Structure 1
Amino acid sequence: MKKIKNVIAIGLTCIMLSSCATVFGGKVNSYQKTKPAPGQEQRQIRVVAFIADILLFWPGLIVDFATGAIYKPK
């Protein structure tokens, strides 16, 4: 019984630490990873993933912004 609880706890932790745009956003391309230079147009974010991260588990935003998955591909 204790083993089952540990597996469930690990599974829930993995789900909570995942972020919507990273998991469901698809492959991240170089446009999403590269920070725009001064004077260039800013990247737009995926609004649905942003709101889902806020509602479900806000630390997922850190993962999404760190990987660049929160930004819309070009």
Structure 2
Amino acid sequence: MALMITDDCINCDVCEPECPNNAISQGEEIYEIDPNKCTECVGHYDEPQCQQVCPVDCIPHNPDIVESHDQLMTKFIRLTQK
């Protein structure tokens, strides 16, 4: 499943540069994750890097976008072939 950023985000700017897929961007009020680009770092790292660096732990899994590891890997391949 893709990750999401909750309203607890403090706009500290540490997650955006850590995303290898450029899925994180500044939204109107807080940072946002594009679920079409988020692979939870599958294909790049063992753990989602944004979750690792977030100081307020505001990046949970998005319950509305459930994806298997295989689906995330397929998305990674699609994104990296462009």
Check whether TM > 0.5.
no
* TM-score, L = length of structure 2: 0.25
Q: TM-score, normalised by structure 1?
A: 0.26
> More helix by proportion, 1 or 2?
1
- If asked which structure has higher relative contact order (CA below 8 Å, sep 6+), I would say 1
Q: Which of the pair has more CA radius of gyration?
A: 1
**Greater strand share, 1 or 2?**
2
